[in-house]
Chain A
């Protein structure tokens, strides 16, 4: 049985069964998923019947367990591997199968047409062409006049989902404005595979790493910036893109503000009146998994007339929105309670009128929760870039 080898491969013998993983697991409290007991099974009787564990699909890959384990065991990796067993046997929830097929065929989980991947840039065709040109031309160095120093990886959801597309536009505008010469891959861009790996489809992920990696390297950019913390995380840790600085946009934008390359207009009298109170939700893939807590807050605090208030569960203790690990495409075993419901309640309790996020998945799950919970009068969910855009941030360059 294959599961037997996993105990050694994943070094589960280090586990002392302390339960810190399950204790911190956001879904353990609502479903039967118990990662510690799974590990225990693997230790004492590894011939596990994976099919009996449908709750494996509940994990959001938030990696809280990995971050907290005192023995450097990586509990979530066991879930990913066990999912791999299910995937190999073709025993995948139907909706997940569709998402994986979409990625395989069209390079995105929604299965939308590849040639539509650049529709996000509607209304900014000129910028898009320039950016695409940069990313192509740099390939043969001879013809390159301008070097593509910064490659902007848009990502699947920001490319296709009309709710997120404005975030991508705001980013391109900001980068260009700050004189950064961003390049982008246009229709050549494919899914980064972050969620593919976490759904257990190691084969497809390997293929994506190979193809994407080659394409990304060929541009020769020094920096790679992403809209989504999920793309950022996998490029940073799982692609081996040596020599390329992989950044999440919050890092880059905070840097631009810090260097004075991005400034905000003094709010007019009228606007000063309507100042916003904003609370910020730390995405798991940005915060817990990459320790990026300060940059998003620095951006928010730089916006004039904006007041930042904190939820009790913030930074390392942020509550997962349940959008990761493939959970965008599968409901899991407990349909009733959603962590996002709890999360938006916590946000509303701060008295904030806006819940700021820095992740496309968080934006979708939390906004949905606000609607279902009937909080939409009270609370708006917005990406940090939308807030930056709305106050008319001015890139500080002479044109």
Chain B
């Protein structure tokens, strides 16, 4: 049974991701000298098809029975390499990874020290690999059903896609109605389609769908379990303890339902930037300085008057609260350029005699039909001036300003102070109505969801996808996916596209019916067991129990989840945790400490 270890070591450059900080050729050469290593190589991309082919070929040619890949985190590609090895008859549990990207090249700049560390991590992985035992892959059944947090356009899209497959979708929305931010809008770019045309049928379908259960004024209060089998508790929503909606039972967030599902989707959307944080722009000082979201409201009302008068000069200020490091929002909000063009056009339509000017830093009209829409907007007479408005104030001597002391007179025009950077000249621009194109920010309550689901967030505060290119809707937590603006700013088409991607990713385990689980469980050596039953005491899953006949412990591998608590507790050292045995770990220590 004992095989002489024949190990292949593969060091990945990951393009320059690893190679820039680690001398990969050097560590590969060093790895070749380690005990048990038959072949050691470096390669530009180990996860690519040629990279995997290399492993397979070596297994065939050199009779390898262990594989060590030094590359990214096992969370990224352990599955890939296990599968590759398995195809050539190597047990997937005899593949070990050395994490030299996330835990080495990306966090250390000093090349010689990073190289030294990478060498040690590889030696440690080789030491473990030499002692790895073959294991059988285990699977558990999944509970069908998806919980979707957030009933905006993203959440509703996911719910319908899930429900249409015949599986139950549970849509949890904290407000009294569905629709999210889109429900606050008037018309949408680039088609200028009224939002109601878009949203009402969607909401109706969600509400009428037999497979969708909608929880309004509700939130998720507790989540247990993991991919395939989550236990989710839904409670009444009311952050401040006051009831957020009709149901009196919702007062202090009383539990409403306990759901068992296989996947969870986060679709909690975004908040808009509060321009009180840019005091130089005078928002709240002047009633005729409003946000773009307030403008949508006015467009819905069809009322653009300021104190009963039709504005003659309307100005839009872009990038308010976006692309701004000092406000902690270095990101571009991606929609403001387009919705500003949209609003400017609607203003032109409603007030043909008014002069409409957009102050911009750059115009980013990248979406499909975006540049064309921007062209049309200009051709309809909207003026674009390249200036980042620095200050808004009002001259006391301006017409309409009260002679009294209160500076808050209603309709009086304000002055936009800026530099027209194409003219290279400071300007003062008078306007009757100013619209601040506020950007998108993470939801203020994102921290609550972050804690509940243990989701990482990126530096901009939005939830972090597992991989920016290859896994854009997955998260670091298996079975939890992202849809819509909770992951970053998006327009409606992108939101819906991502929602559909999230739905199909979430459905994979549900349709498959089972998910692979860690196959490593704890095993008792009956000859050493003294029958003290301390393992049974400490096991959180009641997997360990004394055998009636022999009086020694037996661990039920189906119940055991492999936490290893019993192995540490056993006073007779009769238990070992597969795949993480003391022998393996101590061998790793040896390799690391030299």
Contact = CB atoms under 8 A, between A and B. Distances in A.
Q: Direct A–B touching in the complex (beta carbon < 8 Å)?
A: yes
B397 interface: yes
B396 A312 contact: yes
A36 to B, nearest CB: 6
B419 A309 contact: no
B407 A34 contact: no
B396 A68 contact: no
B483 to A, nearest CB: 30
B388 A317 contact: no
B418 A70 contact: no
B279 A317 contact: yes
A17 interface: yes
A19 B396 contact: no
A363 to B, nearest CB: 23
Interface in B256-292: 279-280, 282, 285
Interface string B395-408: 11100000001010
B25 to A, nearest CB: 33
A70 B323 contact: yes
B426 A25 contact: yes
Interface in A301-318: 309-313, 315-317
B279 A71 contact: no
Contacts of A19: 386-388, 390, 418-421
Given A34-B419, A349-B397, A24 B280 contact: yes
Interface in A1-49: 16-25, 28-29, 34, 36-37
Nearest to A73: B325
A346 B396 CA distance: 7
A378 interface: no
Contacts of A20: 388-390, 418-419
B405 A350 contact: yes
A351 interface: yes
Contacts of B428: 29
B201 interface: no
B315 to A, nearest CB: 14
Contact of B279 (A21, A311, A316): A316
Contact of B393 (A29, A67, A312, A351): A312
A23 B326 contact: no
A312 B279 contact: no
B468 to A, nearest CB: 23
Nearest to B423: A19
A69 interface: yes
B340 to A, nearest CB: 16
A330 B407 CA distance: 35
Chain A residues touching B, range: 20 to 34
Interface in B11-70: none
B74 to A, nearest CB: 37
Given A18-B361, A19-B388, A309-B405, A317 B280 contact: yes
Contacts of A67: 326
B391 A28 contact: no
A72 interface: yes
B327 to A, nearest CB: 8
A18 B397 contact: no
B393 A24 contact: no
Contacts of A34: 419, 424, 426
Contact of A349 (B279, B362, B386, B396): B396
Nearest to A72: B325
B280 A36 contact: no
A17 B326 CA distance: 16
Contact of B424 (A24, A37, A315, A349): A37
A23 B325 contact: no
Given A18-B361, A36-B421, A37-B424, A23 B388 contact: yes
B492 interface: no
Contacts of B394: 312
A53 B317 CA distance: 32
B426 A28 contact: yes
Contacts of A312: 285, 393-396, 407
A70 B324 contact: yes
A29 B361 CA distance: 20
A22 B426 contact: yes
Given A34-B424, A68-B280, A22 B393 contact: no
From A23, A64, A310, name the one whose CB has the most chain B CB atoms within 10 angstroms: A23
A28 B419 contact: yes
Contacts of B279: 315-317
Nearest to B362: A16
B66 to A, nearest CB: 48
Q: Which of A17, A19, A351 has the most CB of B within 10 A?
A: A19
Contacts of A37: 424
Contacts of A16: 323, 361-362
Nearest to A34: B424
B361 to A, nearest CB: 4
Nearest to A70: B324
Contacts of B386: 19
Interface string B303-321: 0000000000000000100
A385 B562 CA distance: 72
B50 to A, nearest CB: 38
B62 to A, nearest CB: 50
Interface string A308-336: 01111101110000000000000000000
A29 B428 CA distance: 9
Interface in B368-393: 386-391, 393
A349 B326 CA distance: 34
B389 A317 contact: no
Contacts of B280: 24, 68, 316-317
29 contacts: A16-B323, A16-B361, A16-B362, A18-B388, A20-B418, A22-B390, A22-B419, A23-B387, A23-B390, A23-B391, A23-B417, A24-B390, A24-B391, A25-B426, A29-B428, A34-B419, A36-B419, A70-B319, A70-B324, A309-B405, A311-B407, A312-B285, A312-B395, A316-B279, A316-B280, A317-B282, A349-B396, A350-B396, A351-B405
**8 closest cross-chain pairs (CB), A and B:** A23-B390, A24-B390, A19-B419, A18-B388, A70-B324, A23-B418, A22-B419, A19-B421
